[in-house]
Amino acid sequence: MLRCVVIDDESLAREVLTGYLERLNHAVTRFGTAREALAYLAYNEADVLFLDIEMPGMNGLEFLRALEQPPLTVFTTAYRDYAFDGYELGVIDFLLKPISFSRFAQAVQKVQDFLALRDPNAHLENEPAGFVFVKSGIQRIRLNLDDVSHIQGLKDYAIIHTSTGKIVIKGSIKSIHTIFPEERFIRVHKSFVVAAAGITRIERNQLLVAGHAVPIGRSYREKIDELLAGRNR
């Protein structure tokens, strides 16, 4: 059972999404304003947010940016123009109103797939620290962290580059990054995570890792410089 939060200023939209979630046997808490939801999430956990964007007071984009560690988020909106903002903020899906039950169920399944991808790694008590499991299709693949050079996000998928090849898995790069140890794998761009130990050179707005050129996002440059300065001490 997923712990779901529905945030929409339209009562009919809240009723529809609540009905869909109850039909799928998930727990629902709903709010008519983003500020109410913000206060709730300060003391309560959620697995997924179903978030409208155009709302009075605080809109959905402002709300999501205000969360330090937002849950998986599905945008539910009548405006197509916000799709790009969704990708920038790492939302898991984008639903355009009016939302059919079948399309909504697909989004919920995507959320469950992401959570299933993360959960096995969180409970691998007997697995050595240098390994993680990832799900690719119906397979669970055991990865040696030393073999991973970088991870590339591509819309709803992530490509894990290893010394022996590439593994394509479903999920945003933000979700996939949580599987890998933060002290070893750093975000250098909205679409790239790299193995810190594999960085061999930085050239202007890109770096070289295991022979691959990877772009550096403007907002990530300071963190990379701090990392390299620490190595040289």
Q: How many separate domains does the chain show?
A: 2
CATH number at residue 114: 3.40.50.2300
Strand partners, 50: 6, 74
Pick from 104, 121, 138: which residue ends a domain?
121
Pick from 71, 93, 121: which residue ends a domain?
121
* 111 & 132 share domain: no
Report, as ranges of residue numbers, the positions in the chain whose pLDDT lies below 70. Answer: 87, 116-129, 135-139, 155, 228-233
pLDDT score recorded for residue 4: 97
Q: Domain span at residue 90?
A: 3-121
CB burial class (10 A; 0-12, 13-18, 19+) of residue 143? middle
pLDDT score recorded for residue 43: 92
The number of residues making up the chain comes to 233
* 165 & 101 share domain: no
* 133 & 217 share domain: yes
Pick from 121, 147, 165: which residue ends a domain?
121
pLDDT score recorded for residue 24: 95
* 98 & 158 share domain: no
* 143 & 116 share domain: no
Q: Which long-range contacts (CB under 8 A, 24 or more apart) does 53-58 make?
A: 53/77, 53/79, 53/82, 53/85, 54/78, 54/79, 55/7, 55/8, 55/9, 56/9, 57/33, 58/33, 58/34
pLDDT score recorded for residue 124: 33
* 116 & 7 share domain: yes
* 136 & 109 share domain: no
* 17 & 109 share domain: yes
